[in-house]
Amino acid sequence: MTTPGDLRGVTEAAATAEPLVADDPVPELDASTEAALQAGIDPAERIASMSRTELLRRRFLRNPMAWAGMVIFGILVVLAIVMPMIYPHEPYSLDLRADVNTPTADHWFGLTNNGWDTFSRCMHGLRVSLVIGIGTAVLTSIIAILVGTVAGYVGGKGKLGALVDSGLVNLINLFLVIPSLLLLMLFGPILQQASWLWMIPLLAIFSWMLTARVLRAMTQQLVRTEYVEAARFMGVNPVVIVVRHIIPNIASWIIIDTTLGVSAAVLGETGLSFIGFGIERPQVSLGTVLSNYELANPWTWVPAAVILAALVISINLMGEALRDALDPTSGSSRV
């Protein structure tokens, strides 16, 4: 379903060019319209030939969910960068002069029972959670694209292709059956000794399967289209076909999945760190902060929970808005 503002006939667009510019959320376009008018180009022509990127950008920015998500996410990123620089306490430093563990002017979110400053821990944890979330999501998508497109592409290509395809499908199923949390718990503490950044590939290895399955199905459909067939008969290299014809067609789905993957990775990392198999001292993540919860003193866990919820919700809001922008027909089945 295309919303009225998206596609208009040239004459219709010319008639409604004025209001369209008026409610345009992007101010600099006003200027460009003026410029176009001065250059003698009909503004209708400019609107009619609006590029896909421009269209998506406008649809995305028109969505209040996108704005809410971006604003919250932006604030959190700025906090994560700035706060650890200016806040006087470190995550594991002890303040022996503090006499209450509830919030004070010195300790903004109070202290835990063993004297750790909660605000500093939350901000350092936010840093770590953000890095791990984004890194894992990107890596997960890369693995899923590799496996999904290869399995989908070679599936219909002779005996060997079918064999490779079924092998990859079984690999996906195998990873789905293995309780990933258990293997994460097995590897986590060992890789922690090297560097906390190992968490990124570790989480990615156990979260690419469902995406790969969907990408495989999408690729299978695309391989049957005429333009891919034509490219094949012209003798184009299979790798080039996948990169040039298949990936651009599934890119929108990949972008949405990567965005939502960030929140999934943040949640996974939190769970793992909470039970003590994830981020460990001297690093601190939001899950580590939560694991030092005290029911007698809600200040020890509520701030971390709120920050975590704000982070995940803002990412999910952006993801949903992206989905709406890329696929306007999803309105009927949007949840």
Partner 1 sequence: MLRFTLLRILNYVLLAFVATSITYLLAASLMHPQEVLYPPIATKPVPPATAHAYLEARNINPDTPLFARYARWLGDLLHGNLGVTSGTDRAMTPVLDVLAARVPLSLRLVVLGTLLGVVLGIVVGMISAVRRNSIGDVAATGSSFVLLSLPTVVVVLLVQQINQIVINTTGFGLPPTGATNPALPDGSTEQLVYHLQALVMPTIVLALFGMASYSRYMKVTTLDVLGSDYLRTARAKGLTRQLAMRRHGLRMALIPMGQYFAFAVGAAFTGSLFVELMFNWHGIGKFTVHALNSADVNGTAGVVLYAAILTLLSATFADILQGILDPRIR
Q: Which residues bind partner 1 (CB under 8 A)?
A: 170, 173-174, 176-179, 181-183, 185-187, 190, 263, 267, 270-271, 274-277, 287, 290-291, 293, 295, 298, 301, 305, 308-309, 312-313, 316, 332-333, 335
259, exposed or middle or buried, with CB in 10 Å at 0-12, 13-18, 19+? buried
**DSSP per position, 147-199:** HHHHHHHHTTSHHHHHHHHHHHHHHHHHHHHS-HHHHHHHHHHHHHTT-GGGH
What is the nearest approach in angstroms of partner 1 to the Cβ of residue 109? 16
Return d(Cα 292, Cα 219) in angstroms, integer: 46
**Looking at beta carbons only, is 35 or 176 nearer to partner 1?**
176
Cβ at position 206, least distance to partner 1 in Å: 11
| Shortest Å distance, C-beta 255 to partner 1 | 19
Nearer to partner 1, 103 or 238 (CB): 103
User: Among residues 108 and 299, whose Cβ is nearest to partner 1?
Assistant: 299
In the bound complex, what is the minimum distance in angstroms from residue 37's beta carbon to partner 1? 41
SS3 content of the chain, % helix, strand, coil (to 5): 75, 0, 25
- CB of 43 or CB of 261, closer to partner 1: 261
What's phi and psi for 111, nearest 5 deg? -125, 160
Residue 50 or residue 191: which is nearer to partner 1 going by CB?
Answer: 191
- Please answer whether residues 98 and 106 qualify as being in contact, where contact means their C-beta atoms are separated by less than 8 angstroms: yes
Among candidate residues 188, 253, 177, 179, the one with its CA nearest the CA of residue 222: 253
For the CB of residue 327, give the shortest distance to partner 1 in the complex, in Å: 14
Nearer to partner 1, 114 or 332 (CB): 332
Least distance between partner 1 and beta carbon 300 (Å):
10
Q: Tell me the two tokens of residue 114.
A: 């063993």
Closer residue to partner 1 in complex, CB, 53/332: 332
Helix (H, G, I), strand (E, B) or coil at 231: helix
Q: Which amino acid is at 197?
A: L
Rg of the Cα trace of the chain?
Answer: 25
- 207 and 213 Cβ atoms separated by less than 8 Å: no
| Least distance (Å) between residue 118 CB and partner 1 | 14
The burial class, CB within 10 Å (0-12 / 13-18 / 19+), for 49 is exposed
Q: Which is nearer to partner 1, 174 or 243 (CB)?
A: 174
**Euclidean distance between CA atoms 173 and 166, whole angstroms:** 10
Rounded CA separation 221/224 (Å): 6
| Shortest distance, position 171 Cβ to partner 1, whole Å | 10
